[in-house]
Amino acid sequence: MPVQRVLMVIDMQNGVFEAPRINREICTTRINQLINTADKVIFIQHTEKGLEKGTVAFELLPELLQPIDSLYVTKTACDAFYRTELDEVLNRHQISEFVVCGCATDYCVDATIKNGASRGYAMTVALDAHTTANRPAALAEVLIEHYNDVWRNFTIPGNTLQVKSTADILSEW
């Protein structure tokens, strides 16, 4: 069986974007390009006070494509693996490698990437398809570039963690 082209989209929800996030349009456009080409899409959605299931805040951004066969995992922590069914979903669908994108670079995207790498999943980060907000210590642009650099240089012997542009990912798919 050929390797599936799998995309994991993290926290691209209405309520998450109530706080300003950098380059929303560009980011969602690139994510939609990846969604259009992927064989399987996994949407990760955060829930907490103000982001309760069944509310408009919990729903994915309206401009995001949602293929009919998409998978959905709900989380309560930054890390999408923490006390969720994500590992089980990936195993059930025989997914061992995937592309990661979404929001927020410095919290949920980073925590999920690091935990996934530790669990042995081979991941590629879409370096231009994740976003975050300005923080007290650094602007969003700086954070995005910083985390792309961290992931490029993340030591995980025996595993693959790559950082590539959406265009490069699409050309390889």
Token couple for 107: 């919290």
pLDDT tens readout for residues 84-115: 999 999 999 999 999 999 999 999 999 999 99
Looking at residue 3, its pLDDT comes to: 66
E strand or H helix that includes residue 37: helix 24-37
Residue 105 lies in a domain: yes
Residue 117 lies in a domain: yes
State how many domains the chain has.
1
**Residue 78: CATH number of its domain:** 3.40.50.850
pLDDT beneath 70, residues of the chain = 1-3
Q: Which of 98, 32, 41 is nearest to 61 (CA)?
A: 32
Task: State pTM to two decimals.
Answer: 0.96
What range does the domain containing 147 cover? 6-172
Looking at residue 34, its pLDDT comes to: 98
Residue 143 lies in a domain: yes
CB 140 within 8 A of CB 102: no
Token couple for 42: 């996994």
Looking at residue 1, its pLDDT comes to: 45
Residue 171 burial (10 A CB sphere; 0-12, 13-18, 19+): exposed
Residue 1 lies in a domain: no
Residue 157 lies in a domain: yes
